[in-house]
Amino acid sequence: MSTTGPATPRPVVLMLPFAGSWIVENSPARRVPSHGTDAFGTSHAIDFVAVRAGRTAPVRDWRTALTVEPVQRFYAFDQAVFAPAGGRVVSAQDGVPDLAARRSPFARIGYALTQAARARQGARGLAGNHVVIELAAGRGYLVVAHLRCGTVAVRPGESVVAGQPLGRCGNSGNSTQPHVHVQVMDDVDPFAATGVPILFARYRVHRRDGADEFVAEGLPDTGDIVEPAGPADG
């Protein structure tokens, strides 16, 4: 009798959903499940935070150490977010307020205590303002989450192409700092879904060891700084 488990699905290849430089957090290149759980189809999810000169915000002050911070001070906030792949929009949530940012460990304590309540709200509480795209050929359902309230630019039933604007980066849902969350899952229902592996095409990566290279197709690691490649790359 065979003891072989179910085959791992082939990775879905995506484009980076932003312009400029963003640092990678919670990458499945580092560990799976990348976010510490297989729940909600997040096993291979990845997060990106916009940076300039390696920093996510131009200022650190007493708020950074002790309390919440205004989201407007972060480079990622209100940056354009694009479709990482084409397909049909099956869900688009807007109207979830953006939260204050919480870099402070003290500010995160109370926030952590409310995480279960957010999970009970389902996609609205966890992903905040988000878009779910059904990919072609049964490749799965692409989720782009934590968009800014009032900026979601697509509607269910609409066909989108890779690179089309979806909205702007926010801090809605289960988020402590403005960032873009991307995942692919095998079911439109996150409570029943399993995460699908992903890769990204045509980007430049600035690694922590100082290496700087063009990647035709790959998966950046936590701590890498990535940006979409220009036409001269490759």
- The per-residue pLDDT for 88 is 98
Q: Catalogue the E-assigned strands of 128-219.
A: 129-134, 141-147, 159-160, 165-168, 180-185, 195-196, 198-206, 212-218
Average pLDDT over residues 211-217: 94
Domain range for 99: 12-49+67-228
Residue 60 lies in a domain: no
Residue 6 lies in a domain: no
* Model confidence band, residue 200 (pLDDT cutoffs 50, 70, 90): very high
How far, in whole angstroms, is CA 219 from its chain's centroid? 14
Report which secondary-structure segment, H or E, holds 203: strand 198-206
Q: What is the number of domains present in the chain?
A: 1
CATH number at residue 45: 2.70.70.10
- The per-residue pLDDT for 116 is 66
- The per-residue pLDDT for 105 is 87
Amino acid identity at 128: G
Residue 112 lies in a domain: yes
**C-beta separation of 147 from 168 below 8 A:** yes
Residue 57 lies in a domain: no
Amino acid identity at 165: P
The pLDDT mean for the chain works out to 91
Residue 1 has pLDDT above 60, yes or no: no
Percent with pLDDT over 70 in the chain: 92
* Model confidence band, residue 61 (pLDDT cutoffs 50, 70, 90): confident
Q: What is the pTM of this model?
A: 0.93
**Residue scoring higher pLDDT (66 or 146):** 146
* Model confidence band, residue 65 (pLDDT cutoffs 50, 70, 90): confident
Average pLDDT over residues 216-234: 92
Residue 170 lies in a domain: yes
- Tokens at residue 21, please? 């430089």
Residue 216 lies in a domain: yes
